[in-house]
Amino acid sequence: MSKSHSVWVSRPLFPEVLAHLAQYVHVHAETEDRKHSSAELREKLAAVDGAIVALSDRIDGNVIAGNQRLRVVSNLAVGYNNFDVPALTAAGILATNTPDVLNETTADYAWALLLAAARRVSSAERWLRAGHWRGGMRFDDWLGVDVHGKTLGILGMGRIGQAIARRACGFGMPVLYHNRSRLPQTVEHDCCATWVEKSELLKRADHLMLVLPYSAQNHHAIGAAELALMKSTAVLVNIARGGIVDDAALAVALREGRVAAAGLDVFEGEPAVHPALRELDNAVLSPHIASASADTRRAMAQLAADNLLAALGYGPDAGHPRS
């Protein structure tokens, strides 16, 4: 097949996914994992019909201004707060994301963070590796907080929130959730979940998971005032987006013991992490990897590639350009 479209892939990607793309289109794939400046994005996108980009590539009006060629940007993520959707829409450029394929893996990771933070797994491991384990076993040391049987609060009850909640049923945990809209009763039942106002959620939850998409309205949805409502024994987990939590305020609450611990996979201004958070032993920190299982990252890459090909007129069953 002669190839009439060119695409740019902004990050190293699985070779088999690149090979799949290359059956239909010319592929220019970056081999280095790094964030691109606006000027670089502008230049790269001007030369292609489609692009697969990552969360740290900010695709805004400035980057696509005057671009007459680009037809689609395909995000390697379900969240798309790196896209200026109105600007893309006005320019007639399709924007795609990778919903659903990461729900269960991301939910697993939210639980990994909750359990690790509640039971002090990271700090215990650091202590052990540093050679501090000399005595026997101090009975009153390394005390964490329980997770099973406690009330789990979930802020943001989309597909990932629901996958997290279903796991809570197995831990004997009632779920309180807050979302713009209430879920149907059958779904609430499957998720052991009850809708409550946000302030009630913050006050009543023994542990809190943040699973809401980032938007200007959600900026610092959890700040000093919200943290003050939480129980001092609570663990806060953020697998949603940096910027939803005021990281500086959270660091203060953690340091003062007003929140017991936190499990954080996302940060304001990542890859930078607030220095005060890095100092804290009661914060479990990871580099935005909630969806990073081998199967799920492959599925996300494949879906991003299929979205891009579909937008350029290549059917999902491959090989037959529609235009």
The two structure tokens encoding residue 289: 């990897």
Q: How many of the chain's residues bind ligand DGY (CB under 6 A)?
A: 6
Looking at beta carbons only, is 109 or 177 nearer to ligand DGY? 109
The token pair at 290 is: 């909630």
Which are the contacts of 223, defined by CB distance < 8 A and separation ≥ 6?
245, 246, 249
Cis peptide before 271 (omega within 30 of 0): yes
- CB of 282: closest distance to ligand DGY in angstroms? 24
- Which of 7, 25, 51, 78 binds ligand DGY (CB under 6 A)? It is 78
Q: Kindly state whether residue 112 participates in binding ligand DGY, applying the rule CB under 6 A.
A: no
77 binds ligand DGY (CB under 6 A): yes
Report if residue 102 touches ligand DGY, rule: CB under 6 A: yes
Closest approach of ligand DGY to the CB of residue 241, in Å: 7
State which residue, 165 or 303, has the beta carbon closest to ligand DGY: 303
Q: How far is the CB of 195 from ligand DGY (least distance, A)?
A: 24
Q: Where are the alpha helices (DSSP H) in the chain?
A: 15-22, 38-46, 61-64, 85-90, 103-118, 121-129, 159-170, 185-190, 198-204, 224-229, 247-255, 275-279, 294-311
**Catalytic annotation, pick one of 241, 268, 274, 297:** 241
Binding string, 270-309, against ligand DGY, x = CB under 6 A? ---------------------x------------------
Catalytic residue list contains 167: no
288 is catalytic: yes
Distance (Å, whole) CA 264 – CA 242: 9
* Selected range binding ligand DGY among 76-84, 86-94, 218-226, 312-320, rule: CB under 6 A: 76-84
Q: How far apart are CA 123 and CA 66, in angstroms?
A: 51
Separation in Å, CA 249 to CA 87, 122, 164, 215: 33, 22, 26, 19
Q: Does 79 bind ligand DGY (CB under 6 A)?
A: yes
CA angle (62 as vertex; 35, 287 as ends), nearest 5: 25
Report in angstroms how near the CB of residue 46 gets to ligand DGY at its nearest. 26
188 is catalytic: no
Q: Determine phi and psi for 88, rounding to 5 degrees.
A: -65, -40
Note whether 209 binds ligand DGY by CB under 6 A: no
Gap between the Cα atoms of 152 and 230, Å rounded: 12
Catalytic residues: 241, 270, 288
Interaction site with ligand DGY (CB under 6 A): 55, 77-79, 102, 291
